[in-house]
Structure 1
Amino acid sequence: MAKDLNVGKYHKSVDEYSDLINEVYKNYPDGVNLPPMYAQFIDKSMSNILIRLSRYKFVAKMLKPTDEVLEVGCGSGLGSIYLSQNCKSVYGIDVQKQEIAEAQELSRRDNVKFEVKDLFLLDEEKKYDSIVCLDVLEHLSIEDGRKFIEKISKLLKPNGFFACGVPSIYSYEFQSPLSQASHINCPDRDDLERELSINFDRIFPFSMNDEMVHTGFQKLAWYYIMLCTSPKD
C-alpha cells in the first residue's frame, strides 16, 4: 500500500503503523458528518455529548452479543450505533423524519436499521431481548407515558429487560431552554418507579450525575436510569 500520509517517526514500526492508518483513511475517505445537534455539542459543550454517550455505555454493558434490541426515540442514531457494537441487531425508531434521515446518513453498520415509526404501531408478535428508551418519557404526559410503558411491556420477551432513562424534576431549572421548551413531565424517581411497576415486576433504579451512574440520594441526581425486567401479563 502506498504510504500517502506523513506519520512521523515516533512509532515502534513506522511501516506497520503507516499501513494501518492508511487503511483507516482508505475505508473512510470522507469521514463522518455529524447532525446539527451533535455539531452544536462539539462547538459549544463537548461534555454534553460525553454525558449522553455514557448513558448508552451503561446500557450496552447489559447486552449480550445475541440480543435483538429496539430503541424507541432513537433520534439521529448515535446511541443506536453504539448499542449495535455490543449486540446482534438494533432497530431504531423515531417519529421525527429529519432525525431518522440523519441516522440513516450517519450509520455505517449493517446490523442497525432506522425507520420513521410510532411505537404504538409496532406488531406485538415481534418481541425484543432489550428495549431502550433514553430521554423520551419526559416528552409525554403522565397518561400518555402509561400507555407508552404498557406498549413496551408487550414488545419485550419474558426474560428481556427495558432500560428507561429520564432527567429528574430536580434538574429542570438547570436545563437548557431547548430542553425546557420540550419537556412535559420530568419525574421524581419514586414516581417514575411507581409508574414502571404497573407493567414490570422487577425494577432496578439508578441515579446519574454527568457520567457517573450510582445508587446515591435520588434528589441530588440529575438523571435516572431504570432497568425493568419481568413484564406483567
Structure 2
Amino acid sequence: MHLETIDFYNQNAEELTARYLRADRSELQRILRQWIPLGGSVLEIGCGCGLDAVFMASIADKVTATDASDEMLHQAKRIIEKHGMSHSILFKRAVFPLEPENPLLKEQFDVIVCIATLMHIPDNELFDFAYQIRSMLKNQGIFICSFPADGGQSHDDQRLYVDREPAEISLLFERLRFHLLKNEKSQDGLGRAINWTTSIFCSGGD
C-alpha cells in the first residue's frame, strides 16, 4: 500500500473519524446484510473508524477488522468499545498486500469486505492483493469491494487515488476464478460529488 496514504490517515485519524461518523451508511448496510451469512466469518480490509465492523459483527460470529494505520485502528477500537462490541471484533494492523509470513494468509473467511480501499492500492500491487484475497476466501466465499465509479474522488491530498473502471476490476478477479454476482451503484454517504460502485464476487473452485 502507498506509504504516504498510510501517513495521511495516521496524521488525520481523529478528524477523519469525526467525518466518517456523519456518513449515511444505510445503502452499504443493506448490501452487507444481503451478502454476509448469519454466523459467518468476515475479514474487513481498511476498517477506518470501525462502524462497519460494528454492523457486520451484528450478523457474523467473527469479524477481523484490519487497517494499515495505527491511529485509525486506535479510533476504531474507541468507537467499538463505545458500542460494547469489543468482544466480537478482532483488530489487526495489516498492510495489503500482506508480507508472505503474515499469519492472516493462513486463515479462511466466508466474506472479505474492502470498502473505499481499492483506490489506495498501487497498480503494481493490485494483482498480489487480489491473489491474497482469493487465498483467504473459502470456496464459494463472497468478496465485496467498493470504489469510485467515475473518477470523482478528490485528489487534493497526498493519498493515492487510482481511478479504476468496474470492468477492469471484474476482469482482474475473473482471472482468479471469481464470478461477478452483482454491481451496485450508489451515491456518496457524505454527500460528496462521488458515485460509488460496489462489486460483489463469489470465489470459485480450483
- Classify the TM-score, shorter chain: 0.7 to 0.9
Of 140, 155, 158, the match for 1:159: 140
Q: Do the aligned partners of 2:56 and 2:63 also contact (CA within 8 Å) in 1?
A: yes
Query: Which one of 103, 128, 140 corresponds to residue 109 of structure 2?
Result: 128
Q: For residues 211 and 36 of structure 1, do their structure 2 counterparts lie closer, same or farther at Cα, with a shift above 3 Å needed?
A: closer
1:195-233 superposed Cα distances (whole Å, 9 cap, x missing partner): 121213311241423279xxxxxxxx8211111112454
- Asked whether the 8 Å contact 2:67–2:94 carries over to 1, the reply is yes
Secondary structure of the equivalent of 2:30? helix
Pairwise CA RMSD: 2.4
1:35–1:76 Cα contact (<8 Å) kept: no
CA distance in 2 between partners of 1:190 and 1:117 (Å): 27
Q: Per-residue deviation at 1:188?
A: 1.2
Task: Provide the identity percentage.
Answer: 16
What SS does the corresponding residue of 1:163 show, helix, strand or coil?
Answer: strand
Is the 2:35–2:142 Cα contact (8 Å) retained in structure 1?
A: no
Q: Which amino acid aligns with 2:35?
A: M
Shift of residue 139, structure 1, vs aligned partner: 0.4
Larger relative contact order (C-alpha < 8 A, sep ≥ 6)?
A: 2
Equivalent residue, structure 2, for 1:168: 149
Please tell me whether residue 102 in structure 1 is matched to residue 83 in structure 2: no
Greater Cα radius of gyration, structure 1 or 2: 1
Aligned to 1:140: 121
Q: Runs of 5+ in structure 1 lacking a partner? A: 1-33, 213-220
Quick one: distance in 2 between partners of 1:129 and 1:76?
23
Q: Rate the CA distance shift 1:222–1:40 in 2: closer, same or farther, 3 A.
A: closer
Q: Tell me, in whole angstroms, the C-alpha distance in 1 between the residues paired with 2:197 and 2:103.
A: 26
Provide the residue aligned with 1:40 in structure 2. Answer: 19
1:19-74 deviation digits (Å, cap 9, x = unpaired) = xxxxxxxxxxxxxxx953242367xxx4xx00x55324312321122101000111
Q: TM-score, normalised by structure 1?
A: 0.70
Aligned partners of 2:19 and 2:121: how far apart in 1?
25
* Displaced runs of 4 or more, over 4 A: none
Higher deviation after alignment, 82-91 or 115-124: 115-124
Inter-partner Cα distance in structure 1 for 2:122 and 2:168: 13
Q: Call closer, same or farther: CA 1:122–1:227 in 2, change over 3 Å.
A: farther
Q: Which residue of the partner structure matches residue 111 of structure 1?
A: 88
Distance of 2:151 and 2:93 partners within structure 1: 32
Deviates more, 1:92-101 or 1:135-144: 135-144
Calculate the TM-score normalised by the size of structure 2. 0.78
Pick from 151, 156, 166: which aligns with 1:177?
156
